[in-house]
Structure 1
Amino acid sequence: MERSMTKKQRADVRWALSDAFVDNEVDYAAIARQTIEFDKDEIKHILFEEVAPICHSNLESTLPTIWLCFNREELQEDIENMLKAQKSSWLKRKTKALLVKWLKQRYKYIWTEIEKHY
């Protein structure tokens, strides 16, 4: 069943997707269960356009700072601030577009694993 998201549901989806970026075993089936009721294309968009730009650096560092989970409120605030900044700056939009292109290649496996469980 696919339906549109409320602001709270979007925050819940972001939170669920952030689990893919912790330095721990990822339960992709759990992420899929938490997001299955929404449009898969929208979930993929949220993953690569909203969550990954904020969370990816945790997986890129040799000693990740986030082992169990991100701070939910900080995650939401960071994503909202990024989206707001991008709206007001052509350069930030272009820079983020390049980042997202890279993220889609680098973390393609995350989406593949989540999608297996839909």
Structure 2
Amino acid sequence: MGRSMTDKERSYVYWALSDAFVDTEVDYEAIARETENYDPEEIKRILYQEVAPVCHTNLETIIPMIWSAFNLENLEADIKETLEAREKSYFKKQKDKLLIRWLEFRYKYIWTEINKHYTKK
């Protein structure tokens, strides 16, 4: 079982997980190393409910804007804005529930790859 994380640690978890959405070869082992000290179920939740809703469009464009890494401050701000909007609006919350389900299906391979490296230890 992993430990809980501070806000600063959470922002670095966001950044590590966002690497799965860049337009380069993804180092899933590195993502696992960066997140291995935390509860895997919490990391999975953060991946699909917080990071993927903000980052997934980068993989869905013909020419992705982000090639090597997301900007940490912008990423944090975008996730915070998304979470606040979800809390303030019932309709946004419902819409995001559907989006998250789709993201879990569409990007299932991301968690599968990260999780493989957790179980190697």
What TM bracket, shorter-length normalisation? over 0.9
3-state SS in 1 of match to 2:117: coil
Per-residue Cα deviation, 1:16-72 (whole angstroms, up to 9, x for no partner): 000000000000000000000000000000000000000000000011111001111
Consecutive unaligned residues of structure 2, counting only runs of 5 or more, are none
Per-residue Cα deviation, 1:53-92 (whole angstroms, up to 9, x for no partner): 0000000001111100111100000000110111110000
Aligned to 1:30: 30
Aligned to 1:9: 9
3-state SS in 2 of match to 1:92: helix
Structure 1 residue 4, shift from structure 2 partner: 0.5
The separation in 2 between residues aligned to 1:19 and 1:4, in whole angstroms, is 22
The separation in 2 between residues aligned to 1:10 and 1:70, in whole angstroms, is 15
Aligned to 1:18: 18
Structure 1 residue 2, shift from structure 2 partner: 1.2
The separation in 1 between residues aligned to 2:83 and 2:3, in whole angstroms, is 22
The separation in 1 between residues aligned to 2:106 and 2:2, in whole angstroms, is 28
Q: How does 1:12-91 map to 2 (within 5 A)?
A: 12-91=12-91
3-state SS in 1 of match to 2:13: helix
The separation in 2 between residues aligned to 1:82 and 1:66, in whole angstroms, is 19
Consecutive unaligned residues of structure 1, counting only runs of 5 or more, are none
Segments ≥4 residues shifted beyond 6 Å: none
Aligned length: 118
TM-score, normalised to structure 2, is 0.96
The separation in 1 between residues aligned to 2:20 and 2:11, in whole angstroms, is 15
Aligned to 1:105: 105
